[in-house]
């Protein structure tokens, strides 16, 4: 079956695992160079300046010293980005399928709803002037079981005025899931299906949608438009993420196995990209261990076999697997690690305008904080540790 909200399989379930205990952040050496590995513990980090990337809590968007009310009702944030004059917010309803809403929230003035329905992603241009999204119509089905119709939009991020609109139907009906801008006039599009035929580019000036690469999914596009991180189709033998040239699609390098690059992975200047690396048994090893104990791993509703990282369940049986995570900051030119951050469980992360990395870090499903780490070395609290029993006290939006 095709998911209504498709994504590549094999991503770590960050909401169901525990990270290893961390230690205090590394201090720079006398020579001025920090250790390549930073061991971070949210209870030991010093307090720093307020987070300079937007996050949501308690009915408001917070950004540095700015607090902007956002009073829409929703079950969760799918995406939150700064735009010219305010913020673009994609929210999910309780089912997260057909009631998603895209909002423009100005720093001063009334919020505007741009879209409601099967809207799974949005993208903002590097200068914050444009916001793009797609609305999928599942009332008909295309070959391959994707939506039979998709309408893609680009709007002025200040006024909400629609500047570009394109309808995709028939065999092209699934093509249009917006993933990023390759410069101001080219928008990267995925397909709303688990069996994609490639990644596409919408040329706004020519109003054409053409194949770009034969990869299956777009993980991230750099703000500069020079690079993109792409994931092979689900059935590919090699599922490692590739960083490719933003013009030619040529592969520059591949990320390690079990490394995930999320939609906010690239730094503002495109020099660095984050890889969240899962440390622990592979899904195959977990499945083999469960089967050795005579536990059939299946969907409780359908009985169909499933493989879920972090929690494998059937009836009263449950396998809980503890994972730790490393956040690796890699050089986008070579793929070589520049800095590795350990000891944090990253629910989401984002880059601040000055090139610092902001991490929504959790501890034992009970506490959370915003942690700032610099590429030069060292981490600090960008927002204090708070109880998370009632939900996410700091919500950077879903990294995905």
- pLDDT tens by residue, the chain, 400 residues: 233 344 344 433 333 322 332 323 333 433 344 459 999 999 999 999 999 999 999 899 999 999 999 988 888 899 999 999 999 999 998 665 567 999 999 998 899 999 999 999 999 999 999 999 999 999 988 877 789 999 999 999 999 999 999 999 999 999 999 999 999 999 999 999 988 989 999 999 999 999 999 999 999 999 999 999 999 998 899 999 999 999 999 999 999 998 999 999 999 999 999 999 988 766 667 666 666 655 555 555 555 555 444 444 444 344 455 678 899 999 999 999 999 999 999 999 999 999 999 999 998 889 999 999 999 989 999 999 999 888 899 999 866 5
CATH of the domain at 63: 2.130.10.10
Tell whether 100 is covered by a domain: yes
Burial category of 281 from C-beta neighbours within 10 Å (exposed 0-12, middle 13-18, buried 19 and up): middle
- Predicted local confidence at residue 297, as pLDDT: 52
**HEC states along the chain?**
CCCCCCCCCCCCCCCCCCCCCCCCCCCCCCCCCCCCEEECCCCCCCECCCCCCCEEECCEEEECCEEEECCCCCCEEEEEEEECCEEEEEEECCCCCCCEEEEEEECCCCCEEEEEECCCCEEECCCCCEEEEEEEEEEEECCCCCEEEEEEEEEECCCCCEEEEEEEEHHHCCEEEEEEECCCCEEEEEECCCCCCCEEEEECCCCEEEEEECCCEEEEECCCCCEEEEECCCCCCCCCCEEEECCCCCEEEECCCCEECCCCCECCCCCEEEEEEEECCCHHHHHHHHHHCCCCCECCCCCCECCCCCEEEECCEEEECCCEEEEEEEECCCCCEEEEEECCEEEEEEECCCCCEEEEEEECCCEEEEEEECCCCCEEEEEEEEECCCCCCCECCCCC
Domain count, the chain: 1
Partners of residue 92 on adjacent β-strands: 76
> Torsion angle, CA of 105/273/361/130, rounded to 10 degrees?
0
Range of the domain at 98: 37-280+322-387
**Does some domain include residue 294?**
no
338 within a domain of the structure (yes/no): yes
- Within a domain: residue 7? no
Name which of 281, 305, 310 is nearest 291 in CA terms: 305
Confirm whether 23 is domain-assigned. Answer: no
146 is a domain residue = yes
Is position 304 within any domain? no
Q: What tokens appear for 56 in the block? A: 């949501």
Answer yes or no: is 264 within a domain: yes
Burial of 262 (0-12, 13-18, 19+ CB in 10 A): buried
Contact between 215 and 230 under an 8 Å Cβ cutoff? The reply is: yes
């Amino acid at each position: 079956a095709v998911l209504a909200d498709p994504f590549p399989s094999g991503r770590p379930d960050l909401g169901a695992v525990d990270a290893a205990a961390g230690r205090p952040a590394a201090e720079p050496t006398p020579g001025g160079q920090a250790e390549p590995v930073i061991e971070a513990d949210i209870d030991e980090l010093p307090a720093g300046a307020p987070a300079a990337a937007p996050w949501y809590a308690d009915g408001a968007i917070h950004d540095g010293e700015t607090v902007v009310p956002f009073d829409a009702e929703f079950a969760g944030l799918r995406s939150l980005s700064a735009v010219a004059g305010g913020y673009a917010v994609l929210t999910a309803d309780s089912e997260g399928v057909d009631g998603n809403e895209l909002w423009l929230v100005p720093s001063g003035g009334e919020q505007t709803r741009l879209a409601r329905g099967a809207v799974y992603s949005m993208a903002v241009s590097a200068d914050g002037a444009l916001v793009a999204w797609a609305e999928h119509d599942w009332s008909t089905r295309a070959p391959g079981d994707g939506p039979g119709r998709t309408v893609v939009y680009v709007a002025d991020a200040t006024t909400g005025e629609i500047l570009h609109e394109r309808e995709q139907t028939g065999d092209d009906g699934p093509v249009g899931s917006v993933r990023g801008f390759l410069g101001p006039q080219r928008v990267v599009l995925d397909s709303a299906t688990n069996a994609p035929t490639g990644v596409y580019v919408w040329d706004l000036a020519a109003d054409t949608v053409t194949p770009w690469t034969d990869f299956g999914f777009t993980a991230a596009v750099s703000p500069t438009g020079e690079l993109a991180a792409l994931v092979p189709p689900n059935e590919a033998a090699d599922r490692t993420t590739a960083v490719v040239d933003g013009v030619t699609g040529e592969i520059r390098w591949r990320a390690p196995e079990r490394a995930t690059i999320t939609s906010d992975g690239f730094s503002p200047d495109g020099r660095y990209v984050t890889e969240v690396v899962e440390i622990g048994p592979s899904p195959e090893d977990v499945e083999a261990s469960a089967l050795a104990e005579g536990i059939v791993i299946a969907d409780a509703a359908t009985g169909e076999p499933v493989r879920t990282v972090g929690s494998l369940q059937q009836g009263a049986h449950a396998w809980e697997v503890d994972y730790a995570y490393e956040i690796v900051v890699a050089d986008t030119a070579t793929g070589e690690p520049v800095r590795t951050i350990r000891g944090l469980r990253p629910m989401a992360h984002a880059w601040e305008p000055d090139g610092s990395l902001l991490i929504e870090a959790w501890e034992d499903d009970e506490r959370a904080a915003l942690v700032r780490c610099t590429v030069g070395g060292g981490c600090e609290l960008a927002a204090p540790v708070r109880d998370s029993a009632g939900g996410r006290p700091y919500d950077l939006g879903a990294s995905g």
